[in-house]
Chains A and B, each alone.
Chain A
Amino acid sequence: MSYFMKIPRPVKYLYYLWVKYIRRDEIWAGLLKGFHPKSAFHQWKFVARREAYKARWHQWWQEEAKVDFILTPPNATPALPHDAMKDAVSSCGYTFLFNLVSSMLFCLQILV
C-alpha cells in the first residue's frame, strides 16, 4: 500500500488506465484512483457520497430486501498467521461496507 501511495500521480494514473481498460480489474482500478492524499474539500465530497450510499442501502433494505437479518461471514479470511497482514491487507474491504453504512452487527459462534 505504501508503495502505491508513493508512485507519482501521473505514473499512477497511467497504471490505473492500464488496470481498468486492459486488465479489466474495476475494483483494483477504483482503489488506485484514490491512492493519494486528499484535501478537506475532497473529503467532504466523499462524505456526501457516503451519505448517498447509506440512503440507497437503507432504501434497498426497507423496500426490496425486507429482511429481518442478513447473514454474512464476519471477514473475508479466517484467523491469519502472524505477519500475514502485509499481504492480507487487501482483504480488508470486506468489513468496510458495514462501517460505511453504520449498521449494527453481531458476531456469534456456531458450534458444529
Chain B
Amino acid sequence: MLAIIAETATLNQSLGAIPYVKTNLPITLLSFESTNDVWGRTTNPHNTKYSPGGSTGGESALLAFGGGRIGIGSDVAGSVRVPAHFSGIYALRCSVGRWPKMGVVTSMAGQEGISAVYSPMARTLDDLIYFSRSIMSMKTWEYDHTVHPIPWRTDDEESTQQKRRLRFGIMRTDGTGFLSRLRFTSG
C-alpha cells in the first residue's frame, strides 16, 4: 500500500514490528492487478502468468511468497480480499472504525461514498489473529479519531468458540455470477 502510514507505522514500531518494505500496487489503486510504470508488474508467486490481485497485490504476493508474515492493505472495493484470494493468504476486511486510519494518504481524499478501510493480511491464520488482536488491544482510539472505542472482544471470541452449533448462510449468487459446483468423492 503506497502511503505515508504515519500512525499505523508508529504504532507497529512501538509494538516491536520493523517496517522494512512498501509493496507494489496499481495506478489509481482501482484495479485487481498490481502494475504501474514506476515499479513495474507484480506477478503471482504461484504462477507468474497471473496477477496476485490488487490493489494490495504487492503485499499479498510478498506474504504468499514468504517474504513477510504480516501486512496492511486498503479495501474500498475488494482491494484486500481479492489479493488474499488470488495469492492464497489470510486477510480481514475490517468494518469502518476498527483499524487505524489516521495519517494515511489516499488517491481520493474526501471520498466518502464508500468508505475505505485498512485491514490486516497475513500468511497464516495464527499470524492474522495475533496481529489483529495486538492492534485492536492498543486503544488506538485515544489518538486516532477514526477508530471506534471497541477493543478486541475476548468475550465474543470465547462465546462463539463455545457455541455448540454455528449457523452458516451460503451466498450462492449475487445475481450475475454463480457458485460452481464443488464435488467431493469419497473412497
Contacts and interface: CB of A to CB of B under 8 A. Distances in A.
Interface in B128-182: 160, 163, 166-171, 174-177, 179
List of 6 A-B pairs having minimum Cβ-Cβ separation, nearest first: A95-B78, A74-B85, A107-B84, A79-B86, A72-B171, A105-B93
A63 interface: no
B53 interface: yes
B8 interface: no
B96 interface: yes
Interface residues of A, number: 45
Contacts of B92: 104-107
B187 interface: no
A14 interface: no
Nearest to B177: A76
A13 to B, nearest CB: 23
A89 B77 CA distance: 12
A39 interface: no
A11 interface: no
Interface string A81-97: 11111001101111111
A82 B31 CA distance: 12
